Amino acid sequence: MTTVLPVRPGAATELPPGADERSSAGRRAGRAAQLLGRLVVRAVPWLVRGAMVAAVLIFAVLALGPHLLGYRTMTMLTASMAPEIDPGDVTVVTPISVSEVTEGMVIAYHKPIDDRSLVTHRVVSVEKTNGTVTVQTKGDANDAIDPWTATLEGDTAYEVRAVIPELGHLIQALRAPVVTEVLLYGAPTLLVGWVLLTIWRPTPTEDDEEQS
């Protein structure tokens, strides 16, 4: 026997329909992906432009400048002149007359011993006799004066005028075979991609304007 209980009016209230959390989360994820896509599309051209500008500047400093302005660039290999010039820094040197070399200058010259490698040190003493200029030098970070006296050959010496920090590390990295291959094929690809993005840049639709 089944008993039916009477239901009084108003005893039960209708529950509101449950929200679909999965649908809401999907919409949020879609908006986030759309926003991320827009940021990437906008950032890529600026990244390409920045890389191109940096490449042009480096090329101008290292390749064009020495021919047009007469300076030379050299990469510091040791820490003998730290902290003014650290390993990996690039020095910019300009020619001066040998007779103008004075104490306190930082000059680049070939040391007169061993393999006659290039050294960049500060002049601590100068001696001029019969048109010959001999110098003694010292690295700022070294405790002692260099154990040689160098005769500056020819009529020109090279004085350090500027230091470009860390550029030497970038130059060494660019000389690596793997990086060379990447630049050889990657740079044209980036350039083509930048041109295509510039030509076919997406325009905002009405729906995008309403959502924003």
Co-location of 112 and 162 in the same domain: yes
What number is the average pLDDT over the span 71-85? Answer: 94
Q: Give CA torsion, residues 101, 104, 106, 109, to 10 deg.
A: 50
pLDDT greater than 50 at residue 206: no
Co-location of 56 and 79 in the same domain: no
Q: Is 9 left (phi over 0), alpha (psi -120 to 50) or beta?
A: beta
What number is the average pLDDT over the span 130-150? Answer: 95
pLDDT greater than 50 at residue 79: yes
Structural domains in the chain (count): 2
- Of residues 157 and 183, more confidence is placed in 157
Co-location of 184 and 198 in the same domain: yes
Query: Is 210 contained in some domain?
Result: no
Co-location of 36 and 99 in the same domain: no
Co-location of 127 and 190 in the same domain: no
Which domain covers residue 39, as residue numbers?
28-68+175-205
CA distance 120 to 124: 13
Query: Is 154 contained in some domain?
Result: yes
Q: pTM for the full model?
A: 0.62
Least-confidence region, from 36-50, 98-112, 163-177: 36-50
Co-location of 80 and 162 in the same domain: yes
Co-location of 52 and 93 in the same domain: no
pLDDT tens for 177-196 read: 776 666 666 666 766 776 67
